């Protein structure tokens, strides 16, 4: 088996059909399998997939296990030389997977591979980024990314001036679409299951690099990512989950001090954005800006109250904040 495609589905019936159709219509290699791990969906996803895509292997998880644990279920069941982690809200372009596997075969020194991701309007969607560090976060929080045009010392959370149009090494690729060499992925134990949502792919890519393997991006492979169909339903809830996993990542890779510093910088980032969007809202009030400001307010309040060390080591979190749905 050359390729295993693992798709995690959580109430994604509206988009997963187009994703699966694009895979089967645009892939020419003979040996590949598609595994869909369904995370406690109640929208008829399981029945829809089984009725319309009989070659797909469906694994039903009774509850929402999160991104890391849910994908690990599919990874363990996979048999391919390569494992593609793919979001259900993606469209695979004609021949993309064939070119990707061929590219991977030509680079045995690499353990994972990134590709060019587009928005639905055809514009470039940032999918490959440098690893998070305290310095990178500080540069981004203070809106100093543009200085990276003059010096790499100001590299932050993006590769400034690069739009995914050339081959290069990258630190990490978005979990919406990343290809792994299966033996490396399984040697590392897949995703770290302490990460429920966000940072799980960052952590895994860091472990790929730490194990001595490169991660290479190719612009010759393109997908379209519709973008966060599940996430958009609960923006504050998912933003807080991102915060939790940010603390887990910094604690794991930078220790107690890193987790504390991460909190200070993130609060500064939130305050600056609250100020900026408050000015915009005063000049041009609308519901979108109002919702964004409310998300920043609740997220800042939660992060102000949390002790990241006690959260990681003891599981302590702030009590329910008024106005925040749980």
Condensed to tens digits (0 to 9), the pLDDT of residues 39-95 reads 988 899 999 999 999 999 999 998 899 899 999 999 999 999 999 999 999 999 999
Helix (H) or strand (E) holding 149: none
Q: What is the pTM of this model?
A: 0.92
Architecture of domain 3-225: Alpha-Beta Complex (3.90)
- d(CA 180, CA 85) in angstroms, rounded, equals 8
Q: Which residues pair with 173 in a beta bridge?
A: 128
Which of 142, 3, 153, 167 minimizes the C-alpha distance to 80?
A: 3
Helices (H) and strands (E) in the chain, counts: 10, 12
- The pLDDT confidence band at residue 324, using thresholds 50, 70 and 90, is low
Task: Tell me the domain boundaries of the chain.
Answer: 3-225, 234-314
**What separation in angstroms does the CA of 249 have from each of 132, 155, 193, 199, 269?**
9, 19, 12, 7, 18
**Cα-to-chain-centroid distance, residue 293:** 24
Please write the tens of the pLDDT for every residue from 194-204.
Answer: 998 889 999 99
pLDDT surpasses 80 at 235: no
């Amino acid at each position: 088996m050359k390729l295993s495609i693992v798709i995690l589905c959580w109430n994604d019936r509206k988009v997963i059909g187009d994703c699966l159709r694009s895979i089967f219509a645009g892939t020419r290699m003979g040996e590949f399998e598609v595994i869909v791990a369904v995370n406690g969906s109640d929208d008829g996803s399981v029945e829809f997939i089984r009725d319309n895509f009989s070659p797909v292997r469906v694994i039903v998880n009774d509850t929402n296990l999160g991104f890391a644990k849910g994908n690990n279920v599919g990874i363990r069941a996979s048999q391919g030389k390569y494992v593609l982690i793919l979001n259900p809200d993606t469209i695979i372009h004609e021949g993309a997977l064939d070119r990707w596997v061929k590219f991977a075969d030509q680079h045995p020194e690499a353990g994972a591979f990134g590709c060019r991701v587009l928005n639905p309007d055809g514009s470039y969607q940032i999918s490959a980024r440098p690893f998070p560090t305290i310095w990178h976060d500080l540069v981004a929080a203070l809106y100093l990314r543009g200085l990276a045009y003059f010096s790499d010392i100001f590299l932050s959370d993006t590769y400034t001036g690069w739009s995914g149009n050339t081959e290069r090494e990258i630190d990490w690729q978005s979990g919406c679409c990343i290809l792994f060499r299966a033996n490396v992925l399984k040697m590392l134990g897949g995703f770290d299951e302490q990460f429920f949502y966000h940072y799980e792919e960052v952590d895994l890519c860091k472990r790929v690099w730490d194990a001595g393997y490169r991660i290479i991006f190719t612009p010759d492979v393109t997908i379209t990512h519709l973008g966060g169909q599940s996430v958009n339903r609960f923006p504050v809830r998912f933003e807080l989950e991102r915060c939790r996993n940010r603390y887990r990542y910094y604690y794991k890779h930078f220790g107690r001090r890193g987790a504390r510093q991460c909190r200070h910088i993130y609060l500064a980032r939130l305050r600056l954005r609250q100020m900026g969007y408050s000015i915009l809202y005063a000049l041009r009030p609308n519901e979108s800006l109002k919702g964004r400001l409310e998300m920043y307010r609740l997220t800042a309040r939660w992060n102000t109250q949390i002790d990241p060390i006690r959260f990681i080591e003891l599981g302590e979190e702030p009590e329910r904040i008024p106005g925040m749905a749980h």
